[in-house]
Structure 1
Amino acid sequence: MADGEDDSSPNLSISLPRQTLIRGKKRKITLHSMVLRRRNSGQADPAEPPTVQTSTPVSSSVSYFQSVPVQTDITDMAARKRYELRRRRSFQQNEGDSSVTSSMDATVDEKSVGPLRKRIKGDPLTEAQSSLDLPAERYSSDSSIDVLPDEIFMKIYSFLYEGDLLTCSAVSRRFYRLSNDLNLWKILYQEAFEYRIPLYHSEQRKFEFREVGRWKDTVNPWKESFRQLRQGIHVRRGFARIYEGHDGRNILHFENLSDAIEHCEQLPNEVEKLIFLHEGMYTSTQFVVDTPLQIIGAGSSRNFQDSVIIDSSSATTVTFVEGSEYAYLGFCTVRYIEPPLDPMRVGNAQHLCSALVVNAYASPVIEHCSFSSTCSGGATVCVKHEGANPYIKNCSICGSDNVGIYITDSATGTYEDCEIARNTLAGVWVKNKANPYFRRCHIHDGRDVGVFTFEHGMGYFEKCDIHSNRISGIEVKNQANPTVVRCDIHHGQTGGIYIHEKGRGQFVENRIFSNQFAGIWITSQSDPTVRKNEIFSGQQGGVYVFGEGRGLIEQNNIYQNNLAGIQIRTGSDPIVRLNKIHSGYHGGIYVHEKGRGLIEENEVYGNALAGIWVTTGSCPILRKNRIHSGKQVGVYFYDNGHGLLEENDIFNHLYSGVQIRTGSNPKITRNKIWGGQNGGVLVYNCGKGVLEDNEIFDNAMAGVWIKTESNPVLRRNKIYDGRDGGICIFNKGRGLLEDNEIYRNAQAGVLISTDSNPILRRNRIYKGRAAGIEITNGATATLEGNHLFQNEFGGLCLASDVRPVMRDNLIYDNHNAVDRTIAKGHCLFKISSCTSFPMHDFYRCISCNTTDRNAICVNCIKSCHKGHNVEFVRHDRFFCDCGAGSLDRQCTLQSETRDNDTVYDSATPTESETT
């Protein structure tokens, strides 16, 4: 190369010994400090560093991240140097960088070096002299830098800063590779930023720590993160020596946060305003952010955000106001510490300060921060006024002396994955048309309510875990209207959700469980929507509606609560539809104290007490429900309970399907009442009611029981296939039985006894396995226009001294099995066994010392007790004790001995107790 070309060579050189240089000048040898190779073609080599100068955005303040233009002349090497240095093995990378190939591996240039030649040892001085006698072209064509090992360059690079490394990377392919070593950049990065993991920052307000292996399409994450964060200003007390006074580093540094903020305010908005706040405590009167300022904590510890502390004791610590639409605060702790009251100062005013305030038209991003306040008069975090719309994520608001987050005056905002706990008042207040969005927040252990929405407050709460608060998990008041979706609300020390004073809200797909009081309380004209929730394991009830409460309660699964699954009282009128209410330790639905409500298409089953209770002046509508498998009654009306029971399936209860007593007067129409282990319908103790168009069948005892001065109306019902009688009227029972079909029952179609006096009109009573109508024990009746046919024992059987009023009845085609058995000389026990009671003359045997309780049929008197002193007792329903084997004398008309322990009497239905 010509001497004139020396000025264009790079400024990086390796000096030869001084004697060599002197001798070289004498021999006119031109030394080249570095030979740069030129690509053979115009095609870009992806492995080669860029050679075109690139422009940095206007916001860039660090010039060393601009590419350096390099002009190189590449010449072929004329000959190999005589001396070849042995290459050492590449040093091992750190374990954390194992995913990236070490820059110390051999490259193509290094592998192309020829085999080493064995050198003959000679005189050192002579050899040195002879080497200087070589022609200048031979000496300069073989650059000494190319044969230096990588370890030497890495040692040199370890003393350089990021700007120097970038300059070196533009020299040659080999320099580019070595200067991009992972470990070099990791050390520089952690010295400046302190982060253990590189921070990804692709756009304004977006920061993410990514492990080295998760950086896609990036060979060196540490370098890339350095490039992304290059414009940041560092606030790090006592570490100015790291950032200042270095030619290869251009990073701004301040000792105080206030100075850094003041500097950023002077920058144009086109420049990214980014402050790295390193570990330490920063106290100030107040930080007000009105620009797109980004403040992010920095430190080397695993939980460094706990050590980056911003606090104040004289005013709100951090305030975002209009102009901070693109501001950011992350990875730090913000506190307000209320100063102690001065006892010598008169009229100490209560401070209303917060740790964080977001004002109108401010929308900062705040993440991974901890907020706390000891101010008893102000919320820890306050978001207020229209246009306030922060994005608060992964933050902690705990241990405050007032409210955790207070959102008011049409403010909004998004709050995700935050922990809000152990605050003296509510964890979250939403007021005055504020409408925030909470998602996956953990709100717990508050000394008041968890979430309090009131005075037209709204909000959307999704997948939050709200538990262990001293009052309810969520309180809705004064026409507030929040939406709560897929949240867990549990272990509240009072209720789960409390809605009152015309509160509204939508509560959908939540799990509400293990609360001390009711899972949901709805009162004082509130009207919420409660849909598709699971409400279970409450220490009291599931849903409690009182004080003229309303609401839609739909498609919920309510179970295993200690009191009623749903309780409606004091003028409340909700809609209860399509719910499953089951396995409760009390009743299913309890309507009392003039409660109302539309209760339809629910499934109520497996409860310890009644499926549905209606009492004390209540009048609900119960329609199309499936009420079954209860451990007591299906539907229980008592103490003036009323209402409409329509088109329900009521079956398989341990007691009666329906019970009516003590002045209750419901209308029961078009229901199916079946499979009860007791009676179908029991009306007693002055009960009333209208039973129309029902199907009552397959019950273990009578289909309908009317007793103790009760007076219901039964019209157009079908009462059939009962395992006892069709209708039993006892103990001064009355009632109007009109246009019913009563058939295929095991005992009498209608049994009237013990001073009862019903009216039977136009009924069809047929195919019974005993008599059609039996009247006994001083009872009477009015029978008009009834059809009695095809009954086994007869159509109408009247006991002694019974004189009913009868008009226009048709009695025909009955089998009269009693008369035929007597005519054949058989004992009546032959047709009755121990399960029915044919009506005929019965006697007692004085010779055998029998009593009125031991009835003997006329054929046994003639045969078994022939010649004995006998007495006629009366014409009534009985089975023969002689044929049953219950007398001392063996019956001569029976061929086998009967077990009198299984003698069946018409059992009295079990009555429910009110608890």
Structure 2
Amino acid sequence: MVKRYVVAPHGGRGTHPDIGSALRAATARGRAARVEITPGHYEERLSVRGEIELAALGDAGSVVVSVPRGTVLDVSGSVVVRGLVLVGRDADAGVVDCHAGSLTLDRVAIRAHNGVCAHARPSTSVTLTDSEFRYGRTVFAGAGGHVERCRFTDAADNALAVIENARVLVRDSRFDGSRIHGVRVSDAWAHLVGCEVTGAEQAAVMADTRAELTVEGCTVVATHMAGLAFIEQSRGSVHGTRVTDAENGILVASGADPTVRGCVFADCRDTGIHVQDSGRGTFEDCEITGAGNVAVLSTRGGAPRVTGCRVSAGNVGIAVTDKARGHFTRVDVHDLTGVALRVWDESKAEFAQVRVERCPFGLETRGNGGTTAELTDAKILDFDMAAVAAVGQSRVTLRGVSAERGLLGFGAGEEAQLHVHDSEVSAVSTGGALAFGTARLVARNLTVTGAESYGLCGTGSAYLDVADSRFENCAATGVRCDDACGGRLAGCAVTGTTGVAVQHNGRVKLVSLRTSLPVREITEPAPPPTIVNHYHGPVFVEAVHSAQLAWNNTNVIQQQTHQSNESDQDGVGR
């Protein structure tokens, strides 16, 4: 049977004047005890041992226990605390310090000025329910824990730290205004369900040092840095979570590899999904909207796998830069102010089953020969500039790509290589495909329909290798080759009722061309006469005949024979 002790500072039969005396009596008895405390302010340092419950007799918050400095409640045993307010200052070990056993805090408020609110030490078990923690952090170090319906406010550090192989479940709790992280999990395990984190000055929820973190059905709002961060080989998963107004929706770096499903990253100031420094990650069925810079960024060796995601209303859709990689499947990108897909600077990206609508550019590549992109089974619609643009020395392969309604279908410039297979371009206001500079364009089974200028064009010193392709109803020219462009067209067809089938410079070989339209070879104009200008020479004011002139030389020897067979030799240096 639980023995009942009552604390009443103003006395009364069978009561104790302070909490400490009641605890000493209960400990001396050595059995389960309940200490009931009448409302008031108690300046005591409490040491609780054994199986004891501390409870406020009045409403929650009617009993305040405080000390000027250090720990207020030191626990070892099986302890339950209900309805108390605990206030401490400079409590590095914790306003509440659980050394051993188990501790339950229910409807408790803790205020830690310049210190730790609650500290669960190794091998302990701490349960926090319907409680409030203000100013200090709550630490689970090698402990087990359960946190439910709690509020953590204005922590000067991390609001909740789960470290050193601790295991903690957090449900339906709120974290506001943390100076560092709302929740930090380091070399430990944690599961967050239905929580809200706002106003953190660094990553709202952080997993580092091989942590295992699961985030489910949570909300992150208005954080100064990343909403969620997985770094340093951390693992885990994020499900059904929404991040709004963060610098980065989720950051993955330094070997971390989380799985993220069904999440929304809205109005992030820089990036929605940000993977860097050998980070990986699997992202499925996520939505990124209104990203200030890039919706999905893989950079500096990042390598994400993205499937079934939707990108809208931002600047750049997906960017793979600075020696990064990425696999992107079933991605829908629309209504951006910048490029939909970008691959730069020795990066490698594979895109499949992609749909792009109402973006200035579809796919853009730039960099040296190590920069590659593959686009398969894709539709690019209503683009302002080019559906695909490859420059530098980058290499792009298109398979089954359809581009409709824009300025230019597919373009390659400078020293880029563009390989096109089984693709089509229609309703473009300039041309279907363009190669310029010294670019190389290889096309098999390319169809261009209804271009308002040309179907295929090569300029500069570009090279065209096009076979089994069709150019239909192009207003001006089916194929045009200008300047020093060379190459080969084999088994191609040009159809329509107006314009020219092929206008070429004689450098492109036409093999088995099928057309009823005229083929014209461009005649190069004769080169202009060479004009040589001499400066700093002699000036003549009258006509001069049979003269030999030399100037700006160190030494000149002239030999001339007269009819009189007299010889004259003169050395002149003028």
Q: 1:776 to 1:393 in 2, by over 3 A?
A: same
TM-score by length of 2: 0.84
Contact 1:682 1:706 survives alignment (8 Å): yes
Contact 1:661 1:685 survives alignment (8 Å): yes
**For residue 660 of structure 1, what is the aligned residue in structure 2?**
365
In the alignment, residue 513 of structure 2 is paired with which amino acid?
L
Contact 1:296 1:332 survives alignment (8 Å): no
**For residue 106 of structure 2, what is the aligned residue in structure 1?**
393
**For residue 469 of structure 1, what is the aligned residue in structure 2?**
178
Distance 1:521 1:736 in 2: 43
Distance 2:282 2:357 in 1: 23
**For residue 581 of structure 1, what is the aligned residue in structure 2?**
288
1:165-314 aligned at under 5 Å gives the runs 234-237=6-9, 239-240=11-12, 243=13, 252-255=14-17, 260=22, 265=26, 290-298=30-38, 304=39, 307-309=40-42, 311-312=44-45
Q: 1:461: Cα distance to partner? A: 1.4
**For residue 379 of structure 1, what is the aligned residue in structure 2?**
94
1:24-173 aligned at under 5 Å gives the runs none
Structure 2 residue 306 is matched with structure 1 residue 599 = yes
Contact 2:131 2:149 survives alignment (8 Å): yes
Distance 1:288 1:738 in 2: 92
Identify which of 102, 105, 116 aligns with 1:403. Answer: 116
In the alignment, residue 811 of structure 1 is paired with which amino acid?
R
**For residue 356 of structure 1, what is the aligned residue in structure 2?**
73
Task: Kindly provide the CA deviation profile for residues 485-512 of structure 1, in whole angstroms up to 9, marking residues without a partner as x.
Answer: 2222121122211211111211122221
Distance 1:708 1:842 in 2: 24
**For residue 812 of structure 1, what is the aligned residue in structure 2?**
515
**For residue 83 of structure 2, what is the aligned residue in structure 1?**
368
Structure 2 residue 463 is matched with structure 1 residue 757 = yes
Q: 1:292 to 1:776 in 2, by over 3 A?
A: same
Distance 2:503 2:350 in 1: 36
Contact 2:446 2:469 survives alignment (8 Å): yes
Q: 1:714: Cα distance to partner? A: 1.2
Distance 2:354 2:305 in 1: 13
Moved more, 252-261 or 685-694: 252-261
**For residue 613 of structure 1, what is the aligned residue in structure 2?**
319
Distance 2:186 2:5 in 1: 47
Contact 1:411 1:435 survives alignment (8 Å): yes
Identify which of 319, 322, 333 aligns with 2:48. Answer: 319
Q: 1:749 to 1:262 in 2, by over 3 A?
A: closer
In the alignment, residue 812 of structure 1 is paired with which amino acid?
T
**For residue 492 of structure 1, what is the aligned residue in structure 2?**
200
Q: 1:377: Cα distance to partner? A: 4.2
Q: 1:529 to 1:672 in 2, by over 3 A?
A: same
Q: 1:484: Cα distance to partner? A: 1.1
**For residue 541 of structure 1, what is the aligned residue in structure 2?**
248
In the alignment, residue 386 of structure 2 is paired with which amino acid?
G
1:334-733 aligned at under 5 Å gives the runs 334-338=65-69, 354-360=71-77, 362=78, 364-374=79-89, 376-385=91-100, 388=102, 390-423=103-136, 427-432=137-142, 434-478=143-187, 480-538=188-246, 540-608=247-315, 610-653=316-359, 655-663=360-368, 664-698=371-405, 700-733=406-439
Distance 2:6 2:280 in 1: 64
In the alignment, residue 504 of structure 1 is paired with which amino acid?
E
Task: Kindly provide the CA deviation profile for residues 742-774 of structure 1, in whole angstroms up to 9, marking residues without a partner as x.
Answer: 223333111112222121122233343332211
Structure 2 residue 477 is matched with structure 1 residue 782 = no
Q: 1:295 to 1:631 in 2, by over 3 A?
A: same
Q: 1:288: Cα distance to partner? A: 7.9
In the alignment, residue 393 of structure 1 is paired with which amino acid?
D
1:736-751 aligned at under 5 Å gives the runs 736-751=442-457
Contact 2:402 2:425 survives alignment (8 Å): yes
Distance 1:727 1:289 in 2: 92
Q: 1:254 to 1:573 in 2, by over 3 A?
A: closer
TM-score by length of 1: 0.54
Distance 2:470 2:365 in 1: 25
In the alignment, residue 167 of structure 2 is paired with which amino acid?
M
**For residue 30 of structure 1, what is the aligned residue in structure 2?**
none
Contact 2:23 2:35 survives alignment (8 Å): no
In the alignment, residue 334 of structure 1 is paired with which amino acid?
V
In the alignment, residue 329 of structure 1 is paired with which amino acid?
A
Task: Kindly provide the CA deviation profile for residues 54-81 of structure 1, in whole angstroms up to 9, marking residues without a partner as x.
Answer: xxxxx9xxxxxxxxxxxxxxxxxxxxxx
Distance 1:288 1:768 in 2: 100
In the alignment, residue 470 of structure 2 is paired with which amino acid?
R
Structure 2 residue 58 is matched with structure 1 residue 332 = no
Task: Kindly provide the CA deviation profile for residues 557-610 of structure 1, in whole angstroms up to 9, marking residues without a partner as x.
Answer: 1121211111111111111121111112211111111110101111011112x1
Distance 1:308 1:762 in 2: 90
Task: Kindly provide the CA deviation profile for residues 661-685 of structure 1, in whole angstroms up to 9, marking residues without a partner as x.
Answer: 1222111111111111111111122
Distance 2:346 2:18 in 1: 78
Contact 1:394 1:417 survives alignment (8 Å): yes
Distance 1:567 1:328 in 2: 48
Task: Kindly provide the CA deviation profile for residues 517-543 of structure 1, in whole angstroms up to 9, marking residues without a partner as x.
Answer: 1112211111121222111112x2221
Contact 1:679 1:701 survives alignment (8 Å): yes
Identity %: 13
Contact 1:523 1:546 survives alignment (8 Å): yes
In the alignment, residue 236 of structure 2 is paired with which amino acid?
P
Structure with the higher strand share, 1 or 2 = 2
Q: 1:328: Cα distance to partner? A: 3.9
Structure with the higher helix share, 1 or 2 = 1
Contact 2:412 2:434 survives alignment (8 Å): yes
Q: 1:295 to 1:630 in 2, by over 3 A?
A: same
Question: Bigger relative contact order, structure 1 or 2, given CA contacts below 8 A and separation 6+?
Answer: 2
Contact 1:310 1:332 survives alignment (8 Å): no
RMSD (Å), alpha carbons = 2.7
Structure 2 residue 475 is matched with structure 1 residue 769 = yes
Distance 1:579 1:450 in 2: 28
Please say which structure displays the higher CA radius of gyration. Answer: 1
In the alignment, residue 474 of structure 1 is paired with which amino acid?
V
Distance 1:486 1:288 in 2: 43
In the alignment, residue 541 of structure 1 is paired with which amino acid?
N
In the alignment, residue 200 of structure 2 is paired with which amino acid?
G
Contact 2:138 2:161 survives alignment (8 Å): yes
Task: Kindly provide the CA deviation profile for residues 719-764 of structure 1, in whole angstroms up to 9, marking residues without a partner as x.
Answer: 2232331112223322211222222333311111222212112223
Distance 2:317 2:140 in 1: 39
Q: 1:288 to 1:520 in 2, by over 3 A?
A: farther
Distance 2:468 2:222 in 1: 55
Q: 1:754 to 1:842 in 2, by over 3 A?
A: closer
Task: Kindly provide the CA deviation profile for residues 694-715 of structure 1, in whole angstroms up to 9, marking residues without a partner as x.
Answer: 12222x2111111122112111
Task: Kindly provide the CA deviation profile for residues 326-352 of structure 1, in whole angstroms up to 9, marking residues without a partner as x.
Answer: x343353333444xxxxxxxxxxxxxx
Q: 1:724 to 1:259 in 2, by over 3 A?
A: closer
Structure 2: stretches of 5+ with no match in the other structure: 57-61, 526-574
Aligned length: 518
Structure 1: stretches of 5+ with no match in the other structure: 1-58, 60-203, 205-230, 244-251, 266-286, 299-303, 339-352, 820-837, 844-915
In the alignment, residue 309 of structure 1 is paired with which amino acid?
Y
